[in-house]
Structure 1
């Protein structure tokens, strides 16, 4: 099974509301989502903000600035799980009744041949509408498996998943699903080493909280974990 990490409340409610207002405005430049599909355009039935739209870049920059800004427990989890070197501009998707995206994989390399070419290790979907405002539209990861995990998170929640996982968006039967999607290049190319790094970072965060570890051993334990983490990163950084 591919690595899958849900993060509740990744984006603050105020930012989510701002994004949703912009996306639901009458003048929003939606185009057929098949513009960004690969070989089989029949799999995809949705709309996206035009790739070259100033609005898309503006909204994408707002999310990126938030993720790079003052840490919250959720944005810290994002950094720990990804150890991101960079991520693509966010794609904004609108899916109404009858829309969806059948089983597919995301591209292993984004912007191939361009100066901004990047390896895509992790995909991330951020939900921007509340789950009770639309029916269907679940994100199904490892959708080629019998017991694939399914996600339909509250607005502002996100799901990180391995880019090489087969996944789909279930058909929307009522209402409207709005999401933002990006692809992330991690500093650590190997997924197992990336998971070890994330686990070590999370343990270190717990140990450094007040009362989580006896004061007389806390410093030595955290220092030892930092040594292990440093060796993992140096050995596996791509």
Structure 2
């Protein structure tokens, strides 16, 4: 499932995050690429252990924890601390698949189920830089505005097309879901969205709303892996 979410943080907040990075020291993104990815990666990244990156990451993480649609779509168990990258001057990231296992800063590990790119530049501020994601229906190109996020399966082949003009600045991270099966996770998302619509229409005390809500939680109980 590819899911864009508009304004998961406000555009003003996104621009403030970007402004905070203007004087930051960027490093070659190849140093965090694993295996064959290093051969197709050409971008810049903030030092993920810098105080600035940690501070900005906390702002994003807090926003994610308070966003119902993000929670509904990902059912997060663990969220990797957000990282930050910059593409410019032809920078790109060729076709690759994200690593299945991510090493967290505290020494623990997590499985990558859902990948996320949070755009911190508006789409008209740069040329190129589309995030192209391979799906069963062909490649889908994504280019969103500052504050918007795209969620997509970590198992998918994807790439960032060359940025030929301007700068594409974004945050990226991964989510380990409580429901590792993507098909089941999508079914729960669709069911939850229907429940929310029916709740707004009929009220939380409605018998059918309660019954569907019970079904949702029983499926979540059966399908979740903690």
TM-score interval w.r.t. the shorter chain?
over 0.9
Distance, in Å, in 1 between the alignment partners of 2:168 and 2:107 is 33
Partner of 2:102: 110
* Contact persistence 2:8–2:63 (CA under 8 A): no
Distance, in Å, in 2 between the alignment partners of 1:90 and 1:47 is 15
Distance, in Å, in 2 between the alignment partners of 1:168 and 1:13 is 24
Larger relative strand fraction: 2
* Partner SS, residue 224 of structure 1: helix
* Partner SS, residue 19 of structure 2: helix
Partner of 2:142: 151
CA shift for structure 1 position 13: 2.2
Matched, 1:225 2:222: no
Partner of 1:66: 63
Partner of 1:72: none
> Per-residue CA shift, 1:82-101, capped at 9, x if unaligned?
01112001110000021000
Partner of 1:101: 93
Aligned 1:74-93 pairs, distance under 5 A: 75-93=67-85
Distance, in Å, in 2 between the alignment partners of 1:43 and 1:34 is 9
Matched, 1:35 2:31: yes
Aligned 1:127-166 pairs, distance under 5 A: 127-142=119-134, 147-166=138-157
Distance, in Å, in 2 between the alignment partners of 1:148 and 1:225 is 35
CA shift for structure 1 position 200: 1.3
Partner of 1:119: 111
* Contact persistence 1:29–1:53 (CA under 8 A): no
Distance, in Å, in 2 between the alignment partners of 1:31 and 1:163 is 24
Distance, in Å, in 2 between the alignment partners of 1:175 and 1:152 is 14
* Contact persistence 1:207–1:218 (CA under 8 A): no
> Per-residue CA shift, 1:8-48, capped at 9, x if unaligned?
11111232121011122x2x021000011111312001000
CA shift for structure 1 position 147: 2.8
* Partner SS, residue 85 of structure 1: strand
TM-score, normalised by the number of residues in structure 1? 0.89
Distance, in Å, in 2 between the alignment partners of 1:168 and 1:153 is 15
TM-align CA RMSD? 1.9
Deviates more, 1:37-46 or 1:111-120: 111-120
Distance, in Å, in 2 between the alignment partners of 1:185 and 1:146 is 25
CA shift for structure 1 position 115: 3.6
Aligned length in residues: 224
Cα 1:190–1:137 change in 2 (3 A) is: same
Runs of 4+ in 1 over 6 A off after TM superposition: none
Cα 1:113–1:33 change in 2 (3 A) is: closer
